Structure 1
Amino acid sequence: MNIHVVALFKFNENYLMEAVELFQTLVRETRKEEGCLQYDLIEDKDNKGTFFMVELWESEEHLNRHNGQDHLLDFRRNVSKMLESSTMVHKGFKTL
């Protein structure tokens, strides 16, 4: 069963350029992963520094593998100092 993920990031405005560079690497490498059906970065049009990662994975097993990938672990480590608040992650299965 496919699993959907939406992650919300709020960055300090001083780090936006650096954050986008880190996202570029993360998105490029994640899209190569087995089971990744969608991995898109969306910038909130009304809130500067707010981004949404919209993900669709073939299965929860694929998502779990993704969570241990070096490129994701590197991203998490590098962005931690740039975030204005904790990242919010929502996971779920399509109901309709």
Structure 2
Amino acid sequence: MNLHVVALFKFNENYLMEAVELFQTLVRETRKEEGCLQYDLIEDKDNKGTFFMVELWESEQHMNCHNGQDHLLDFRRDVSKILESSTQVYKGFKTL
């Protein structure tokens, strides 16, 4: 069963360029992973500095493998220094 994930990131406007650079590497490398069906970064149109990562994984196991990848661990380490607030992550299975 496919797993849907949405992660919410909020940055101070002073760090937007740095955040986008970190996201570029993360997205590029994650899209190469086995089981990654979708991995898209969306910027909120009304709230500057707010981003959503919209993910679709072939299975929960594939997403769990993603969580141990070096590019994600590096991203988490680097992005934690510039986040305005804690990242919120929502996971679920399609119901309709």
TM-score normalised per structure 1 = 0.99
Deviations 1:2-52 (A, max 9, x none): 000000000011110000000000000000000000000000000000000
The SS at the match of 1:68 is coil
Distance 1:79 1:23 in 2: 9
Equivalent in the alignment of 1:40: 40
Structure 2, unmatched stretches of 5+, are: none
Deviations 1:46-67 (A, max 9, x none): 0000000000000000000000
The SS at the match of 1:77 is helix
Equivalent in the alignment of 2:49: 49
The alignment yields a C-alpha RMSD, in angstroms, of: 0.3
Aligned residues: 96
The SS at the match of 2:81 is coil
TM-score normalised per structure 2 = 0.99
Deviation at 1:81, TM superposition (A): 1.1
The SS at the match of 2:72 is helix
Identity of paired residues, percent? 92
Counterpart check, 1:94 vs 2:94: yes
Structure 1, unmatched stretches of 5+, are: none
Which stretches of structure 1, 4 residues or longer, exceed 4 Å deviation after superposition?
none
